[in-house]
């Protein structure tokens, strides 16, 4: 469960209209990266951009998950490259290119 409590900055008064709580299975220990709560004709609509420990990014609006994106490859620390042997088909193609030169 992710819970977000909105407060007035000057007085620290709780704003229950903009607070949100939702259950999900997408985010692991999320943190808020950005929030915006513009006044619209329907009232204040808050959107929250969250990031989790496994680098998943998600957008919440009206206590609902709008979208999420797995970014597991965004925090790679080391890569090891290995050259694999060519298949017979790849070897044939490679030979054809060598003959044209």
User: Would you say the C-alpha torsion 89, 95, 100, 101 has a positive or negative sign?
Assistant: positive
Number of domains in the chain: 1
Query: Does residue 90 lie in a domain region?
Result: no
Q: Which domain, by its residues, includes 18?
A: 2-75
In this predicted model, what pLDDT tens digit does every residue of 54-98 receive, in sequence order? 888 888 887 788 898 887 666 778 888 998 898 999 888 888 877
Kindly report, residue by residue over 7-43, the tens digit of the pLDDT: 888 898 888 777 767 666 667 788 888 988 888 888 8
Per the domain annotation, does 80 fall within a domain?
no
Residue 64 lies in a domain: yes
Report whether 48 contacts 64 (CB < 8 A). no
Asked, for residue 93, whether it belongs to a domain, the answer is: no
Specify the pLDDT at position 101: 56
Structure confidence at residue 100 (pLDDT): 60
3-state helix, strand, coil in the chain (%, to 5): 15, 35, 50
Q: Tell whether the model's pLDDT for residue 46 goes beyond 80.
A: yes
Q: What is the rounded distance in angstroms from the CA atom of residue 31 to the CA atom of residue 58? A: 10
Q: What pTM, to 2 d.p., does this model score?
A: 0.56
Got the DSSP string for 3-31? EE--B-TTT--B-TTT-EEE--SS-SS-E
Name the average pLDDT for the chain: 81
Domain membership flag for residue 38: yes
Is 97 part of a structural domain of the chain? no
- Asked if residue 100 is part of any domain, the answer here is no
């Amino acid at each position: 469960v992710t819970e977000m409590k909105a407060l007035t900055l000057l007085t620290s008064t709780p704003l229950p209209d903009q607070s949100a709580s939702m259950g999900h299975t997408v985010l692991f220990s999320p943190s808020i990266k950005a929030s915006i709560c513009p006044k619209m004709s329907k009232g204040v609509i808050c959107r929250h951009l969250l990031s989790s420990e496994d680098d998943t990014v998600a957008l919440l609006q009206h206590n609902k998950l709008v979208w999420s994106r797995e970014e597991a490859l965004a925090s790679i620390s080391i890569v090891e490259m290995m050259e694999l042997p060519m298949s017979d088909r790849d070897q044939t193609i490679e030979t054809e290119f060598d003959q044209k030169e």
